Structure 1
């Protein structure tokens, strides 16, 4: 997601009366407390899957760098796409939980200025937009001048890369995370709104005379360090949601249940409305801008949007299907709503189904025989793609209204889902 810290407005600062439901060692769990506890279970399982798939990617990187090949690069790309499945479903936990929001930028900031990292095409124009970081090319330069400061990049380490994020105060300077790794695996997508993703050759990682793109050894060091940081960050986050620790989970479950429900609903509504409908679809669609495509190097954007929406639905239904096929499930918002108003619960479920169908239609178009990806759908002359994207925006807007009805039904006030300053 775009690298910006969302205000929780008044939603999470609202004081809760002393008579609100509070977990104690002697009192039985209330239905609301059980829902919040299952929310924490879902978070742990989702981040644990994100960690495990990133660890699998890291192992594959080590094997590839030891003996680069076309087949090895294809395998890495597939493992990156697999790693995105649980991570995208985890994004719903960012909105409402500051521990995730404050941490997330290092993993998923976008769009990034790829000229900061590696070679780019001769007609690359981002530097003309005022970001001097777009000309640094970390991989090609062991020492770079940035303003009055000389940066030593002799060693490419996870810590060094993390220190370069937002260099010079520019959010476009993204040196780490999924999208930096994506660029290292695919390279630039130079096809605009035409068919095709990035086409980085595996020879960009060969040593010696067969190296293409120059600096193959440093490119391998960069890839290895970026994945190392990704794994470390995800390991830290899954531990924040693990049982039995002095961690964020413990803090969350010690709060009144009403506050936990508010965080859940705020997260669902904000990802649904401001982030997914707004920043990730509406912005790119209205500007016909491939630069605002989420997974712009790999053309995997359709799946990222689909799994973002799936993550929102997971929270309402109180369940998450793990990467090994097992199901984590428990007390849910759906249970609470159905106990009060079964008709409303059915309506909300229908809204989630409508969103799922709308985004599945985008996936089907992207993965079907014609292979019309997101960057092709947003082209000004692609009426079919634009219609599907507008349908998905509408479904997400209606879904957010349903989430607000859930909050009202459960007497959770001051929800105010973030719109990211978009009008719908």
Structure 2
């Protein structure tokens, strides 16, 4: 897959995204074709916003590297958290759309064995058993050898980092994307089930004698390259969904029968809801009591990633998205289409989506409590009954809404939806 080299290619995306027109969610005579077209518009809008916020993150990283201080590091961390809001809402487009699923790993693969990238505290380091790349330390090396393959890593570039993903055949060898950047900004979270996230110092990015933990020039180069690749990847995906004359994924999708478009929409909603969010991102971590299996494990931002995944599911149903600048994007929705066929089912699914957002909102509120915050890695600790109940409530709400998503599919002529459960039993 090739990626465009420009660093801030926002003009086209913003110009097209600015054409949003308010639309009543319950408008009469909504057609399947209108709903699928708006779905493509919605994807373009969300990815445009993800690109915009990733570009802001890139600027914050530039400022950090120009002057590494606690203040510029804090600003870069905030920009990373802000960038996650739009991106996590985009993940509902992954399931059912091959162009997204084939591309997503380079941006959001996890868990990762962070010792592939940089130094780690070996006494507190949990990694995939047998992974020869788990302590390769690209930043501290001019070459690495994994699985009998020797790779020259002396010059850190976006292309090099992309080539190192899953080196040696291990999915835990993740060299790029949001989580690689997260690790570089925060460092390891060594607090286990106790309060606290990663505590990397800004001096890890200083030059000369002020540098801490060695190889600061290479650490700076790695962070800059990972940021550039993230922006270029998002730019590529924006263009896949853009309403332009040339062939792209959007044109392929809209050339298919509308029923296939509806299937991809509903499959994405159901699969993110069931197998991915309820299963891989919550059930696995809770049952294993494993903070290594939380999604944003270095920053303790997992509650927000879960919340905005849920928001993305609801967005596809309602046809609504609130951009990072506060403006709204609306259009013909699944909710309106389903209401024309079965108003009771449409109302029930709407209520279940609200219930799942309330349960995910409880996770978010508890993690952000001013007096006694309980982040996701604390919730999944053994014998934490309150935390386990919060996570279980969210899982149950997600499982419940998936049942109605599948009923909605049948009502709309999409047979045998079979949302991906990722091998989990609920």
- d(CA) in 2 for partners of 1:148, 1:102: 27
- Contact 2:113–2:128 (CA under 8 A) maintained in structure 1: no
Q: Which residue of 2 is the match for residue 68 of structure 1?
A: 68
Which secondary structure state, in structure 1, belongs to the residue aligned with residue 122 of structure 2? coil
Please point out which of 401, 404, 408 is paired with 1:402: 404
C-alpha distance after superposition, 1:208-228 (max 9, x if no partner): 111111101100000000000
Please point out which of 372, 375, 383 is paired with 1:373: 375
Task: Tell me by how many angstroms 1:328 deviates.
Answer: 1.1
C-alpha distance after superposition, 1:374-393 (max 9, x if no partner): 00000012111100100000
- d(CA) in 2 for partners of 1:302, 1:91: 15
C-alpha distance after superposition, 1:51-101 (max 9, x if no partner): 011111111111110111000000000000000000000000000000000
Which secondary structure state, in structure 2, belongs to the residue aligned with residue 412 of structure 1? coil
Q: Which residue of 2 is the match for residue 117 of structure 1?
A: 117
Which secondary structure state, in structure 2, belongs to the residue aligned with residue 129 of structure 1? coil
- Segments of structure 2 that go 5 or more residues without pairing to the other structure are 1-28
Q: 1:24-423 counterparts in 2 under 5 A?
A: 31-126=31-126, 129-244=129-244, 245-369=246-370, 370-423=372-425
- Contact 2:186–2:198 (CA under 8 A) maintained in structure 1: yes
Task: Tell me by how many angstroms 1:126 deviates.
Answer: 4.1
Which secondary structure state, in structure 1, belongs to the residue aligned with residue 134 of structure 2? helix
Task: Tell me by how many angstroms 1:149 deviates.
Answer: 2.9
TM-score (norm 2): 0.91
- Contact 1:126–1:134 (CA under 8 A) maintained in structure 2: no
- Segments of structure 1 that go 5 or more residues without pairing to the other structure are 1-28
- Contact 2:157–2:225 (CA under 8 A) maintained in structure 1: yes
Q: Which residue of 2 is the match for residue 26 of structure 1?
A: none
TM-score (norm 1): 0.92
- Contact 1:241–1:248 (CA under 8 A) maintained in structure 2: yes
Task: Tell me by how many angstroms 1:341 deviates.
Answer: 1.8
Task: Tell me by how many angstroms 1:125 deviates.
Answer: 4.5
- d(CA) in 2 for partners of 1:307, 1:127: 27
- d(CA) in 2 for partners of 1:149, 1:292: 28
Task: Tell me by how many angstroms 1:408 deviates.
Answer: 1.5
- Contact 1:338–1:344 (CA under 8 A) maintained in structure 2: yes
Task: Tell me by how many angstroms 1:147 deviates.
Answer: 4.0
- d(CA) in 2 for partners of 1:93, 1:328: 17
- Contact 2:126–2:292 (CA under 8 A) maintained in structure 1: no
C-alpha distance after superposition, 1:19-74 (max 9, x if no partner): xxxxxxxxxx9700000000001000000001011111111111110111000000
The count of corresponding residues between Structure 1 and Structure 2 is: 396
